[in-house]
Each structure stands twice: as structure tokens, then as C-alpha cells.
Amino acid sequence: MGKYIFVTGGVMSSLGKGIIASSIANLLLSAGYKIASIKVDPYLNSDAGTMNPYAHGEVFVTDDGYEADLDMGHYERFTGTLMSRDNNITTGQVYLSVINKEREGGYLGKCVQLVPHITDEIKRRLREVSEKKNADVSIVEIGGTVGDLEGLPFLEAIRQMKLDEPGNTMYIHIAYVPFLKHTNELKTKPLQHSVQELRRIGIQPDMIVCRSESDVGEDIKRKVSLFTSVPYNMVVSDPDAESVYEVPLKLDEQSIVDKISEVLHLDGRKPNTVRWKGFVDSMLKARKELDIYMIGKYTDDRDSYMSITEAIRHSATAVGARASLHWVESTHLEDGSVSIDSILDDNAGYVILPGFGKRGTEGKIAALRALRERGVPVLGICFGMQLMAIEIARNVAGMEGANSTELNPDTKYPVVDMLEEQKKVKKMGGTMRLGAQRATLVEGTATYNLYQSKEVYERHRHRYEINTEYVGALGDAGFIVGGYSDEGFPDFMELKGSRFYIGTQGHPEFKSRPLDPAPLFHSFMKAVSERNAVSEEGVRTVGSETR
């Protein structure tokens, strides 16, 4: 029978529950246990697909085309295992399932209630994922904060799980321990209150993780233990780290797997963190710094591009450097409050970020022209590749006013369009290409050379494509196809003869891993690195003004 670790959060949101849950999964996996990672999202949406990035951060896409919360990305990056729609449970899914069952007569005339019907459906889904993954341990992160109304049915369900399966469940509660500067001390009262709220619901934590700016000392741990009835050895410190990838190592230093084994009666295996530690050491010790400009429309919330920033960091480490990210709001380029000249740097690399809609697109297009003419490394992702094609159509191929029909339905040159062929790809009226899609690469192109493969699978999330009627004209202008989808649309395009000027319709960032960077990002960072001076005097180092 599988075992369960339920991770809850208290005091405030954005504590990093997903990082803790991912880190625990990382360590258990490295110890040889089969794991399943599950994210519970109490919102009423069926999935995260319709959410504004400013409100919820990045929408992470799985291989099977599910649009999920960004924590699913953490799970994949920290464990190297593929998530799917099964790994995410939302209130919307649960209620819809129960209502449909009631409409079909599945409850035989009973009054359908939160308890037991909603809670039973939650427990059924948790067990189903655990059994399907054949997991020794399932790590279940409960989204939101203890005390949120929408989270109560899930907390009630996991309370029942301990009764249903004694000895097979563990509760880990993460709570913030603030530092008050004027008294020069850490305060545990907010943590105590969040634990009291959990206990009022009927859940007694087995372990407390103290999130704080700095390491909590022994006195704080003893105080937390005393007022929460959690054994002293089960109080763990989680201070701020330079990199999230340090967190598994920090937890391992406190023997967290041993503590988990004690509660869940596991067989005491030890994590093997050698490779992970090697990556973290390489990341933190890298002295060469590479400037990367991130041009997008949601730059006020960096979580909107979480997987892209992580893919850049993975690849920077792989080339012996670290990335210094410079965020450029494309609407500011558009209205002139930021000049394009101010962001031009011959030694830097540029990422044209994805993002649906008209706002900021002309700013991106203007930047693309300057970058193309400058000859610096540029990577365009999804909508970024479409804008690359539009820019070249306008300024090289002579198609004045070329555009996407998403932005201008009446454009004379619909270089990007939602074509009839696309509408047939997804039935029932859907036009979104989602999930892992095959692309056949064109031999001899830069794209083919960097992937070293005839076929690749990258994840997609878009409705519009490069209009195949304009592929010839774009090719004549030097913007050639590097790979085609099975439906015949360009999935990769590149500027012929350029060191690195490549766009992709997919999202390779979703498959990047710390120990296995995405090939497209790796090649991009390698191109940026090679543009920088190689002499000892010319290398820009972290904390140095030299170049």
C-alpha cells in the first residue's frame, strides 16, 4: 500500500511549498523510492489554462497537453519525472465529477454533501494517482494557505486519510517565521496560530518546516516544538537560499528522509545527492556572467516566465557561467519610455518571450529588427517566433503591414494565421495545439545540428501558426524553416547564416532539467558565451566591472 506526505502552508502564500514538496520528492527518489507528486489547487477553475499570468504566474504545460500550475514545473525539474493531468486536482474537477455522477443517478437519491461525497472524490483521486504511478510515497501539496475557505474540503479529506490508512500518512506544515528588525528577533507566534488552525480542523502536523530569511536556531526550534506539540527533532529550518536547487541539500543536511522514514515506517534508505550537489556547486561557483535580456509583456511578474528563466540557468551552468537577467517590458519599448538603443549589447543574448495579445507586440517587433541587424544571439519562443517572421516579412521581404490575424484580422499579408487546416487538428471546436508535438527537422539547418536528431518532441501551447503560403517568401528573405510539424506548419525557423537567430513555435523550456538542459537553450547560451571575450582580462566576472 502506498504512503502519503501531505504538505500544507500557513501564515502567508508564496512560501515555497512547491519547492519543499519537490525537494522532498527529489531526495526520496534519489534514495530509491518510487514517488508520485500531486498538486491540489483549491480554485474552482478546472485547470490553469485561462488564468492571467499576473494573477497566477506561468501556465505549465505537460506532455499530455494539460495546462497546470507552475508548481508542476518544479516537480518535473526536481525529479526528472513527467507530470500529467492526473497529477493536478482542482476544486473545479472534483465538483464537476460529483455533480455529473449525481445527474447520472450515481448516489441513488442521497443528499449530496461535502462530507462524504466531495471528500470521498478527493480521496479517490489521490489513491488513483498513487496506484497508477505505483508509488511508494506520494507527495501531495495542498495549495493555498491554512484558513482559506476553499481549501477546507481538501484538508478534511486528508484528515480522513489518516483514519483510513493509519501509519501510511504524514503531515508536513510549512509556516513563515518573520524577523522583526526593531526587536532583532524571530517571531514564532504566526506559525503557532497556523498550527492551531490546523489542529482545529483535526490535523496535527508530524513535522514543521520553518520558512525564514535566515536559519532558525535551536532555541526557536524548541519553542516551536513546545507550542505545536511537534517533537523537537521534527522541526526543520528552511532559510532563504541563493538558488532553489540548494533546498534539497539543505533538507538533506537535516536528515529529513530519516525523519520521514521514522513516521512512515520506511526502510531507511539514504539519498544519493552526488550529481545534484555537483550541479549546485557548478552553478554557485561560476564566475563568468552572461547578460540575457528578457523582452516580454508580463515582466512585472517574473513567475510568468518561470520555466524559461530556469532553462536559462540550467544552460548557463552547463557552459560554465551564470546568467544575469535583464527584464525589458515590451510596452515600454512600444511607447518609447525605454529606448531600443539602451538595451543593445554586442556581448548579450536576447529572448523574445511568449505572450498572447496585441499589447507590446510592436515593441517586440521594433526590438527584433535592431537585434537582427546587430547580429546578436536571439531566441524567439512561440509568439516570439511569429513576431520574428512578421518583422522579416515587413522589413526584408517588402510586405508592408504584414501581421498576424490575431492582431489585425484585415492585414494584407497574414504571415501568421489560424488556418482551416489547423481547425481540423483538434475536434469539438478547439484550436489550441497543446502538449508534446512531433517536429521533423530539416537536415543542414542550425536547428537540426543543435538537436542532432531528425525528429524532436517539444510541448506546444498556441492557436496561430506561420502561414505556409508565406514560407517561400520568408525563405527568400533568409528566414528559413528548421523543422515542420506533422501538419506541415513551421515549428522552427532560423535566419540563414546567423550564429544564432532561431525561433520555435514550441516551448522547449518545459523539458529543461538541471542535469539535462534543453538543447535549444543550451545552444543559445553557448552562442552567447562564445561572443564574450575569452581572455582572462576580458571575461566579465560576477561582482566585477571588467569586460
pLDDT tens-digit map of 99-156: 999 999 998 889 999 999 999 999 999 999 999 999 999 999 999 999 889 899 999 9
The pLDDT assigned to 266 comes to 96
pLDDT of residue 534: 42
Per annotation, catalytic residue among 382, 406, 460, 462: 382
pLDDT value of residue 418: 87
Q: Please spell the DSSP secondary structure of 349-399, one letter per residue.
A: EEEE----SSTTHHHHHHHHHHHHHHT--EEEETHHHHHHHHHHHHHTS--
Catalytic option among 74, 117, 507, 522: 507
Q: Which of 76, 289, 362, 509 is catalytic?
A: 509
Structural element, H or E, at residue 288: strand 288-296
Query: What's the pLDDT score for residue 541?
Result: 42
Element (H, E) at 458: strand 455-462
Domain boundary among 277, 299, 320: 277
Tell me, what's the pLDDT at 50? 78
Mean pLDDT confidence for 225-252: 96
Is 540 inside a domain boundary? Answer: no
Contact (CB, 8 A) for 468 and 381: no
Least confident of 40-54, 313-327, 413-427: 413-427
To the query of whether residue 509 is one of the catalytic residues in this protein, the response is yes
Which residues does 137 contact at the CB level (< 8 Å), separation at least 6?
2, 3, 4, 5, 28, 33, 34, 35, 36, 260, 264, 266
| Residue 434 scores a pLDDT above 60 | yes
The predicted structure's pLDDT at residue 396: 97
396-407 pLDDT per residue, tens: 999 999 999 999
CATH of the domain at 466: 3.40.50.880
In a domain, 439, yes or no: yes
Structurally, the chain folds into a number of domains equal to: 2
Work out the average pLDDT over 447-460: 96
317 and 268 share one domain: no
Element (H, E) at 261: helix 256-264
Per-residue confidence band for 536, with pLDDT thresholds at 50, 70 and 90 = very low
pTM of the model: 0.91
Res. 537: pLDDT tops 70: no
For residues 254 and 290, membership in a common domain is answered with no
Amino acid identity of residue 307, one-letter, is S
Our measurement of the distance from residue 420's CA atom to the centroid of its chain's CA atoms, rounded to an integer in Å, reads: 32
Q: Give the residue carrying C-alpha cell 542535469.
A: 515
- Tens of pLDDT, residues 354-400: 988 889 899 999 999 999 999 999 999 999 999 999 999 999 999 99
Same-domain status, 235 and 343: no
Residues 42, 185 within the same domain: yes
pLDDT of residue 54: 63
- Verify that 221 and 327 share a domain, yes or no: no
Residue 220 reports pLDDT greater than 60: yes
| First-to-last C-alpha distance (Å) of the chain | 59
Pick the last residue of a domain from 230, 252, 277.
277
pLDDT digits (tens, 9 = 90+) for 64-111: 999 998 999 999 999 999 999 999 999 999 999 999 999 999 988 899
Residue 543 placed within a domain? no
Domain that holds residue 95: 3-277
| CA neighbor of 137 nearest in space, from 275, 41, 235, 31 | 31
Place of cell 507527495: 139
SS (H, E, C) 475-504: HHCCEEEEEEECCCCEEEEEECCCCCEEEE
Task: Determine the 3-state secondary structure of 141 from DSSP.
Answer: strand
Q: Residue 538: inside a domain, yes or no?
A: no
Q: Is 172 exposed, middle or buried (0-12, 13-18, 19+ CB in 10 A)?
A: buried
Nearest to 466 by CA among 419, 506, 407: 419
Has residue 340 got a pLDDT over 50? yes
- Burial 288-299, CB ≥16 within 10 A → b, else e: bbbbbbbbbbbb
Q: How confident is residue 422, by pLDDT bands cut at 50, 70 and 90?
A: low
Does residue 544 fall inside a structural domain?
no
- The helix-helix angle for 306-318 and 274-285 (nearest 10°) equals 90
Which whole number is the average pLDDT over 253-278? 96
Flag the least confident range among 72-76, 420-424, 541-545: 541-545
Q: Which ranges in 396-545 belong to alpha helices (H)?
A: 420-423, 446-451, 471-476, 519-531
Looking at the fold, whether 80 and 25 belong to one and the same domain comes out as yes
* Residue 454 burial (CB count, 10 A): 12
For residues 363 and 413, what is the distance between their CA atoms, to the nearest angstrom?
19
Last residue of a domain, one of 257, 277, 297: 277
Q: Higher model confidence: residue 539 or residue 546?
A: 539
- Considering the domain boundaries, does residue 146 fall inside one? yes
260 and 331 fall within a common domain: no
Please check whether residues 313 and 268 belong to one and the same domain. no
User: Do 242 and 312 belong to one domain?
Assistant: no
Q: Above 80 in pLDDT, residue 258?
A: yes
Co-location of 241 and 316 in the same domain: no
Residue 314 to residue 330: CA distance in whole angstroms: 25
Stretch 169-186: mean pLDDT, rounded?
A: 92
Whether residue 436 is found in the same domain as residue 390: yes
pLDDT score at 27: 98
- Look up residue 350 and give its three cell numbers: 536576447
Looking at residue 419, what is its pLDDT? Answer: 64
In this structure, the answer to whether residues 72 and 201 fall within a common structural domain is yes
**3-state SS class at 244:** helix
Q: Is residue 50 part of a domain?
A: yes
What pLDDT was estimated at residue 301?
Answer: 79
Greater model confidence, 44 or 456: 456
Contact 433, 420 (CB under 8 A): no
Distances (CA, A) of 222 to 194, 214, 232: 17, 17, 6
Residue 330 lies in a domain: yes
Helix (H) or strand (E) holding 159: helix 152-164
Inter-residue contact 80 to 275 (CB < 8 Å): no
